[in-house]
Amino acid sequence: MKNLFLYLLLFLMFSCNPLYKEFNSINGKREHDSENSLIKIILAHDTSKNSLFIFSRNRSFENNNVNVEGVLYNFSSKETTFFKSIDKSKVEIVSKINNSLTINRDFKEELFILENYLSGKEAYLLNLHDSFSSSEIGSMFYLYDFKESKKLNINAIVINQDNKLIQ
């Protein structure tokens, strides 16, 4: 009985998630089912439409999995939550930071995008060039501002160990 209640609770949490519904309305039809399920899990961590979600995906050529990592930022609480997919159906919260854009070495690019977006530099982000020309290095970044119902596609960028953008 306890397991049944838990499954019902999880089903309701994921099926009624307003952020995921907003994500789908902004984005339209998604092509990667495994990516979609990972994003649904991540967005269940914040049900407020007062949030910003930045993520990138990398496809593993060895096992054809889609790996997703991202940052979920809440405008009201200023909380930043860092996520990484473990496999095609599990997501790990790497860390949470309140009221700070402290550099997390695994999420330098996402934090660079977040900082510039919060500073109103949307045009700058959209004009960035791919840091590398190879399709095997880097991945596009996707920014979803649920407060403004807006999506940005940002080219694959890389931040070096000195926290400088490689362009």
Residue in 39, 165, 147 with CA at minimum distance from that of residue 111: 165
- pLDDT tens sequence across 20-71: 665 666 565 555 555 677 777 777 877 777 888 888 876 555 556 667 888 9
Mean pLDDT score across all residues of the chain:
76
Reported as a single tens digit per residue, the pLDDT across 154-165 is 988 888 888 888
122 pLDDT band (50/70/90 cuts)? very high
Would the CA dihedral through 26, 67, 104, 131 be positive or negative? negative
User: For position 120, what pLDDT does the model report?
Assistant: 96
Q: What percentage of the chain reaches a pLDDT higher than 90? A: 13
Which residue, 16, 30, 42, is CA-closest to 151?
30
* Residue that wins the pLDDT comparison between 3 and 125: 125
Q: Is the pLDDT of residue 85 over 80?
A: yes
pLDDT number for residue 143: 92
Cβ contact 130:104 at 8 Å: no
Cβ neighbours of 138 (radius 10 Å): 19
Residues 6+ apart with CB under 8 A from 104: 82, 94, 95, 97, 111
Q: Which pLDDT score, from 0 to 100, does residue 130 have?
A: 80
Mean pLDDT of 99-119: 82
Integer Cα distance of 150 and 146 in angstroms: 7
CA geometry: angle 136, 83, 39, nearest 5 deg? 80
Q: What's residue 12's pLDDT?
A: 47
CA dihedral 54, 59, 64, 68 (to 10 degrees): -20
Distance CA 6, CA 12 (A): 10
What pLDDT, on the 0 to 100 scale, is given for residue 16? 57
For residues 167 and 130, the answer to whether their CB atoms sit within 8 Å is no
Mean pLDDT of 102-106: 69
What is this structure's pTM? Answer: 0.75
